Amino acid sequence: MRLHRFIIQTKKRLGLRHFIIWFEKQIPAHSSVGTDPLIPHGKFPWAGTLEHDWRQIRDELDGMMTHYEALPNMQDISAEQEHLTQDDKWKSFFFVGFRERVEGNCRLCPKTAALLENIPGVTTAFFSILGPGKHLAPHTGIYRGVVRYHLALKVPDDPSTCAIRVSDEVVHWSEGTGFFFDDTYEHEAWNKSSDVRVVLLLDIIRPLSFPYSLINKAIIYAIAQTRFVRDAKTKHEAWERKFEQVLSGK
């Protein structure tokens, strides 16, 4: 219920609640990638290139994982995630947040950042790190105008211990492969292993026919101006300053 209230409050903050609700109802008729829970991989040609070069990303991830304890917990960046996690078992490393690059992190992972530059419509990109025994309870995304992508970078030796359910579909991650889904369907994720699971998580602007594509971009821009996004940015900037000290050994 808390998440449902958060979604409603977010749309109210935009001052466009009824318009956004109406617009989301138009998306199925104008989405060029459909609106099923799982979205066909072939609808996004760039995914093949990203997956071909996944080991470059994994190498940079391994470098960041040496600082695992210093990486931020999701709820420490976005307080709205407290309904999903209150411990230190869901961590992140952001490259893009609501279309704004995190320059310091991009410099630390230049190959990953360069690959992301070639992907159109990225609104969010980060390493999503699910610790041993972590379960993210069923939840839904706030807006249907984006499509979510997971590229599996680190998966436990027994992949059956780790999965995500999107609506009625269950997907087990496999290193070097990715998949797309609509996160406005109820979904949950779990890692029952004793190792971490890491994906490169991307939110991509959903391809829509004109003029709905322009309206969609305007709504995404408006969401980026809300207080909860601005607060998350401020908290992340504070973490960046602390992380710089960790890297410098101070």
- pLDDT, tens digit, for every residue of 185-202? 999 999 999 999 999 999
Cis ω for the linkage preceding 211 (within 30 of 0): yes
Domain count, the chain: 1
pLDDT for the residue numbered 8: 52
Distance CA 14, CA 52 (A): 39
Average pLDDT of the chain? Answer: 92
pLDDT of residue 222: 86
Range of the domain at 66: 2-205+212-248
Identify the CATH number of the domain in which residue 219 sits: 2.60.120.330
How does residue 84 score in pLDDT terms, banded at 50, 70 and 90?
A: confident
Q: How many CB atoms lie within 10 A of CB 94?
A: 24
Is residue 29's pLDDT more than 80? Answer: yes
pLDDT, residue 4, reads 45
pLDDT at 83: 83
Residue 1 pLDDT more than 50? Answer: no
> With bands split at pLDDT 50, 70 and 90, how would you rate the model's confidence at 249?
confident
Between 4-13, 53-62, 140-149, the lowest mean confidence (pLDDT) is in 4-13
Whether the pLDDT of residue 11 is over 70: the answer is no
pLDDT digit string (tens) for 94-105? 999 988 899 999
The angle that helices 212-224 and 17-30 make with each other, rounded to 10 degrees, is 140
Read off the pLDDT band of 248 (50, 70, 90). confident
From 69-78, 80-89, 194-203, the region with the lowest mean pLDDT: 80-89
Q: What local confidence, expressed as pLDDT, does residue 229 receive?
A: 86
- Window from 147-156, 157-166, 169-178, 241-250 with minimum mean pLDDT: 241-250
